[in-house]
Structure 1
Amino acid sequence: MNYCTRTDLTDYILADYLAAADNQQEDTVDKAITNVSAEMTEALVAGGYTVTADAIPAAVKRICSTIAAYRSIGAITSLITSEAGSENEFLPLQRLAERADKEMALIRKGDFPLAPPEAKTAQPNDTAVVVTPPSKFGDCWSKF
Protein backbone atom coordinates (compact mmCIF):
# COMPACT_ATOMS: atom_id res chain seq x y z
CA MET A 1 0.00 0.00 0.00
CA ASN A 2 1.36 3.40 -0.98
CA TYR A 3 0.86 6.22 1.52
CA CYS A 4 1.34 9.00 -1.05
CA THR A 5 0.87 9.65 -4.75
CA ARG A 6 2.83 11.43 -7.43
CA THR A 7 0.47 14.39 -7.00
CA ASP A 8 1.34 14.58 -3.30
CA LEU A 9 5.01 14.94 -4.22
CA THR A 10 4.23 18.12 -6.16
CA ASP A 11 3.55 19.82 -2.83
CA TYR A 12 7.32 19.70 -2.32
CA ILE A 13 8.78 19.74 -5.83
CA LEU A 14 7.77 20.85 -9.30
CA ALA A 15 6.18 18.25 -11.57
CA ASP A 16 8.85 19.02 -14.20
CA TYR A 17 11.55 17.75 -11.84
CA LEU A 18 9.61 14.55 -11.31
CA ALA A 19 9.27 14.14 -15.08
CA ALA A 20 13.02 14.75 -15.46
CA ALA A 21 13.72 12.07 -12.87
CA ASP A 22 11.58 9.60 -14.81
CA ASN A 23 13.30 10.61 -18.06
CA GLN A 24 16.69 9.94 -16.48
CA GLN A 25 15.64 6.48 -15.34
CA GLU A 26 12.23 4.94 -15.96
CA ASP A 27 9.82 4.75 -13.00
CA THR A 28 12.21 6.55 -10.63
CA VAL A 29 9.39 8.41 -8.89
CA ASP A 30 7.08 5.40 -8.63
CA LYS A 31 9.91 3.28 -7.21
CA ALA A 32 10.69 5.99 -4.65
CA ILE A 33 7.04 6.12 -3.58
CA THR A 34 6.84 2.33 -3.32
CA ASN A 35 10.11 2.04 -1.38
CA VAL A 36 9.28 4.83 1.07
CA SER A 37 5.80 3.39 1.62
CA ALA A 38 7.31 -0.03 2.35
CA GLU A 39 9.70 1.56 4.86
CA MET A 40 6.78 3.39 6.47
CA THR A 41 4.79 0.16 6.73
CA GLU A 42 7.74 -1.46 8.54
CA ALA A 43 8.05 1.57 10.84
CA LEU A 44 4.33 1.56 11.63
CA VAL A 45 4.34 -2.15 12.43
CA ALA A 46 7.48 -1.82 14.57
CA GLY A 47 5.91 1.13 16.43
CA GLY A 48 2.69 -0.75 17.08
CA TYR A 49 0.48 1.47 14.92
CA THR A 50 -2.43 0.28 12.78
CA VAL A 51 -3.12 2.15 9.55
CA THR A 52 -5.63 1.11 6.92
CA ALA A 53 -5.75 2.19 3.27
CA ASP A 54 -8.86 4.28 3.83
CA ALA A 55 -7.56 5.98 7.00
CA ILE A 56 -4.02 7.25 6.36
CA PRO A 57 -3.00 9.94 8.88
CA ALA A 58 -1.87 13.24 7.35
CA ALA A 59 1.51 12.99 9.07
CA VAL A 60 2.22 9.62 7.43
CA LYS A 61 1.28 11.03 4.02
CA ARG A 62 3.47 14.12 4.56
CA ILE A 63 6.48 12.11 5.73
CA CYS A 64 6.25 9.69 2.79
CA SER A 65 5.71 12.48 0.25
CA THR A 66 8.70 14.45 1.50
CA ILE A 67 11.10 11.53 1.53
CA ALA A 68 9.92 10.23 -1.86
CA ALA A 69 10.31 13.70 -3.42
CA TYR A 70 13.80 14.00 -1.94
CA ARG A 71 14.87 10.60 -3.23
CA SER A 72 13.41 11.25 -6.68
CA ILE A 73 15.42 14.45 -7.03
CA GLY A 74 18.50 12.77 -5.58
CA ALA A 75 18.42 10.47 -8.60
CA ILE A 76 19.01 13.35 -11.03
CA THR A 77 21.22 15.88 -9.23
CA SER A 78 24.17 15.99 -6.88
CA LEU A 79 22.95 19.29 -5.40
CA ILE A 80 20.61 17.36 -3.15
CA THR A 81 23.53 16.14 -1.03
CA SER A 82 25.34 19.47 -0.91
CA GLU A 83 24.61 22.50 1.20
CA ALA A 84 27.27 24.60 -0.51
CA GLY A 85 26.01 28.02 -1.40
CA SER A 86 22.70 29.66 -0.79
CA GLU A 87 21.63 29.11 -4.41
CA ASN A 88 20.87 25.44 -3.79
CA GLU A 89 17.15 25.37 -4.57
CA PHE A 90 16.82 21.91 -3.05
CA LEU A 91 18.02 22.96 0.41
CA PRO A 92 14.48 23.42 1.79
CA LEU A 93 13.54 19.95 0.52
CA GLN A 94 16.69 18.56 2.08
CA ARG A 95 15.75 20.07 5.45
CA LEU A 96 12.21 18.70 5.21
CA ALA A 97 13.53 15.25 4.30
CA GLU A 98 15.88 15.26 7.30
CA ARG A 99 12.95 16.12 9.54
CA ALA A 100 10.79 13.44 7.92
CA ASP A 101 13.53 10.83 8.47
CA LYS A 102 13.63 11.75 12.16
CA GLU A 103 9.86 11.52 12.40
CA MET A 104 9.87 8.10 10.74
CA ALA A 105 12.44 6.97 13.31
CA LEU A 106 10.09 8.18 16.06
CA ILE A 107 7.23 6.25 14.47
CA ARG A 108 9.43 3.15 14.40
CA LYS A 109 9.98 3.57 18.17
CA GLY A 110 6.29 4.22 18.81
CA ASP A 111 7.02 7.74 20.07
CA PHE A 112 5.21 9.76 17.40
CA PRO A 113 1.62 10.84 18.07
CA LEU A 114 -0.48 9.91 15.04
CA ALA A 115 -3.89 11.52 15.01
CA PRO A 116 -6.63 9.46 13.45
CA PRO A 117 -7.86 10.89 10.12
CA GLU A 118 -11.31 11.58 11.55
CA ALA A 119 -9.70 14.05 13.98
CA LYS A 120 -9.30 16.61 11.17
CA THR A 121 -12.52 18.42 12.04
CA ALA A 122 -13.77 19.60 15.40
CA GLN A 123 -16.90 18.01 16.74
CA PRO A 124 -19.77 20.20 18.01
CA ASN A 125 -19.16 19.12 21.59
CA ASP A 126 -15.43 19.93 21.53
CA THR A 127 -14.30 22.76 23.78
CA ALA A 128 -11.10 24.69 24.12
CA VAL A 129 -9.87 26.54 27.15
CA VAL A 130 -7.18 29.21 26.94
CA VAL A 131 -5.42 30.05 30.18
CA THR A 132 -2.98 32.94 30.33
CA PRO A 133 -0.85 34.07 33.23
CA PRO A 134 -1.60 37.41 34.83
CA SER A 135 0.06 40.42 33.23
CA LYS A 136 3.48 41.24 34.67
CA PHE A 137 3.54 44.79 33.40
CA GLY A 138 0.09 45.94 34.35
CA ASP A 139 -1.51 48.43 32.02
CA CYS A 140 1.68 50.28 31.02
CA TRP A 141 1.72 48.81 27.46
CA SER A 142 -1.81 49.97 26.65
CA LYS A 143 -0.45 53.39 25.69
CA PHE A 144 1.40 51.96 22.70
Structure 2
Amino acid sequence: MSNPLSLDEQLCFPFYSISREITRRYRPLLEPLGLTYPQYLVMLVLWEEDQQSLKAVGERLHLDSGTLTPLLKKLEASELIRRVRNKQDERHIEITLTDKGHMLREQAELVPLALKETLGVSEEDLERVKQTLNQLVIKMNGTE
Protein backbone atom coordinates (compact mmCIF):
# COMPACT_ATOMS: atom_id res chain seq x y z
CA MET A 1 0.00 0.00 0.00
CA SER A 2 1.38 3.40 -0.94
CA ASN A 3 1.91 6.12 1.63
CA PRO A 4 -0.28 9.13 0.71
CA LEU A 5 2.18 11.41 2.52
CA SER A 6 5.22 10.14 0.66
CA LEU A 7 6.95 12.93 -1.24
CA ASP A 8 6.96 10.73 -4.36
CA GLU A 9 3.15 10.50 -4.19
CA GLN A 10 2.60 14.26 -4.18
CA LEU A 11 1.43 15.96 -7.37
CA CYS A 12 2.88 19.28 -6.22
CA PHE A 13 6.48 18.12 -5.89
CA PRO A 14 7.32 17.54 -9.58
CA PHE A 15 5.79 20.96 -10.36
CA TYR A 16 7.84 22.58 -7.63
CA SER A 17 11.03 20.82 -8.74
CA ILE A 18 10.66 21.63 -12.42
CA SER A 19 9.71 25.24 -11.69
CA ARG A 20 12.87 25.74 -9.65
CA GLU A 21 15.01 24.01 -12.28
CA ILE A 22 13.58 25.98 -15.20
CA THR A 23 14.05 29.25 -13.31
CA ARG A 24 17.64 28.25 -12.48
CA ARG A 25 18.35 27.52 -16.14
CA TYR A 26 16.86 30.83 -17.28
CA ARG A 27 19.08 32.82 -14.91
CA PRO A 28 22.32 32.77 -16.97
CA LEU A 29 20.34 33.40 -20.17
CA LEU A 30 18.55 36.43 -18.75
CA GLU A 31 21.50 37.91 -16.86
CA PRO A 32 22.98 39.59 -20.00
CA LEU A 33 19.56 41.20 -20.55
CA GLY A 34 19.51 42.53 -16.99
CA LEU A 35 16.27 40.67 -16.26
CA THR A 36 15.10 38.28 -13.60
CA TYR A 37 12.75 35.48 -14.64
CA PRO A 38 9.60 37.27 -13.35
CA GLN A 39 10.68 40.48 -15.10
CA TYR A 40 11.22 38.47 -18.30
CA LEU A 41 7.64 37.21 -18.08
CA VAL A 42 6.35 40.79 -17.82
CA MET A 43 8.45 41.79 -20.82
CA LEU A 44 7.15 38.82 -22.82
CA VAL A 45 3.58 40.00 -22.22
CA LEU A 46 4.48 43.52 -23.34
CA TRP A 47 6.44 42.33 -26.37
CA GLU A 48 3.31 40.43 -27.45
CA GLU A 49 1.19 43.56 -27.08
CA ASP A 50 2.52 46.92 -25.96
CA GLN A 51 0.49 49.41 -23.91
CA GLN A 52 -1.57 47.29 -21.57
CA SER A 53 -3.26 48.02 -18.30
CA LEU A 54 -1.75 46.84 -15.04
CA LYS A 55 -4.84 44.66 -14.63
CA ALA A 56 -4.41 43.03 -18.07
CA VAL A 57 -0.73 42.22 -17.43
CA GLY A 58 -1.61 40.80 -14.01
CA GLU A 59 -4.38 38.64 -15.45
CA ARG A 60 -2.11 37.34 -18.21
CA LEU A 61 0.56 36.35 -15.67
CA HIS A 62 -1.88 35.25 -12.94
CA LEU A 63 -0.35 37.84 -10.57
CA ASP A 64 -2.08 40.32 -8.29
CA SER A 65 -1.10 43.98 -8.33
CA GLY A 66 0.78 43.63 -5.02
CA THR A 67 3.15 41.12 -6.63
CA LEU A 68 3.29 42.82 -10.02
CA THR A 69 3.92 46.41 -8.88
CA PRO A 70 7.45 45.81 -7.49
CA LEU A 71 8.40 44.04 -10.75
CA LEU A 72 7.11 46.98 -12.77
CA LYS A 73 8.93 49.49 -10.58
CA LYS A 74 12.23 47.71 -11.20
CA LEU A 75 11.57 47.53 -14.94
CA GLU A 76 10.73 51.22 -14.91
CA ALA A 77 13.93 52.02 -12.97
CA SER A 78 15.82 50.09 -15.68
CA GLU A 79 14.08 52.32 -18.24
CA LEU A 80 12.47 49.35 -20.02
CA ILE A 81 8.87 50.34 -19.35
CA ARG A 82 6.83 53.37 -18.42
CA ARG A 83 3.86 53.34 -16.04
CA VAL A 84 1.31 56.05 -16.73
CA ARG A 85 -1.93 56.74 -14.89
CA ASN A 86 -4.99 56.78 -17.14
CA LYS A 87 -6.17 60.39 -17.53
CA GLN A 88 -9.84 59.39 -17.48
CA ASP A 89 -9.46 57.15 -14.41
CA GLU A 90 -6.45 57.73 -12.15
CA ARG A 91 -6.90 54.29 -10.55
CA HIS A 92 -5.91 52.60 -13.82
CA ILE A 93 -2.26 52.35 -14.81
CA GLU A 94 -1.10 51.80 -18.38
CA ILE A 95 2.17 49.97 -18.97
CA THR A 96 4.14 50.75 -22.13
CA LEU A 97 7.54 49.77 -23.42
CA THR A 98 10.22 52.41 -23.80
CA ASP A 99 12.54 52.47 -26.81
CA LYS A 100 15.07 50.59 -24.69
CA GLY A 101 12.41 48.00 -23.85
CA HIS A 102 11.57 47.54 -27.52
CA MET A 103 15.26 47.16 -28.43
CA LEU A 104 15.80 44.51 -25.75
CA ARG A 105 13.37 42.23 -27.59
CA GLU A 106 15.94 41.49 -30.29
CA GLN A 107 18.40 40.11 -27.72
CA ALA A 108 15.63 38.24 -25.92
CA GLU A 109 14.64 36.37 -29.07
CA LEU A 110 17.69 34.13 -28.52
CA VAL A 111 16.56 33.03 -25.05
CA PRO A 112 13.87 30.41 -25.91
CA LEU A 113 16.15 28.46 -28.25
CA ALA A 114 19.04 28.62 -25.80
CA LEU A 115 16.78 27.28 -23.04
CA LYS A 116 15.58 24.40 -25.22
CA GLU A 117 19.20 23.50 -25.92
CA THR A 118 20.06 23.41 -22.21
CA LEU A 119 17.11 21.15 -21.45
CA GLY A 120 18.18 18.43 -23.88
CA VAL A 121 14.59 17.37 -24.56
CA SER A 122 13.02 16.89 -27.98
CA GLU A 123 10.80 19.60 -29.44
CA GLU A 124 7.91 17.11 -29.54
CA ASP A 125 8.27 16.21 -25.85
CA LEU A 126 8.42 19.87 -24.86
CA GLU A 127 5.33 20.68 -26.92
CA ARG A 128 3.42 17.75 -25.41
CA VAL A 129 4.30 18.80 -21.85
CA LYS A 130 3.43 22.43 -22.58
CA GLN A 131 0.03 21.48 -23.99
CA THR A 132 -0.74 19.28 -20.98
CA LEU A 133 0.29 22.00 -18.53
CA ASN A 134 -1.71 24.65 -20.40
CA GLN A 135 -4.80 22.41 -20.25
CA LEU A 136 -4.30 21.97 -16.52
CA VAL A 137 -3.97 25.74 -15.99
CA ILE A 138 -7.20 26.30 -17.92
CA LYS A 139 -9.06 23.71 -15.86
CA MET A 140 -7.69 25.01 -12.58
CA ASN A 141 -8.65 28.58 -13.43
CA GLY A 142 -12.09 27.54 -14.63
CA THR A 143 -11.61 29.25 -17.98
CA GLU A 144 -12.48 26.26 -20.13
**TM-score scaled by structure 2?**
0.29
Instruction: Report 1 or 2 for greater relative contact order, CA contacts < 8 Å, sequence distance ≥ 6.
Output: 1
**TM-score scaled by structure 1?**
0.29
Between structure 1 and structure 2, the one with the greater Rg is 1
Q: Which has the higher strand share?
A: 2
Q: Which has the higher helix share?
A: 2
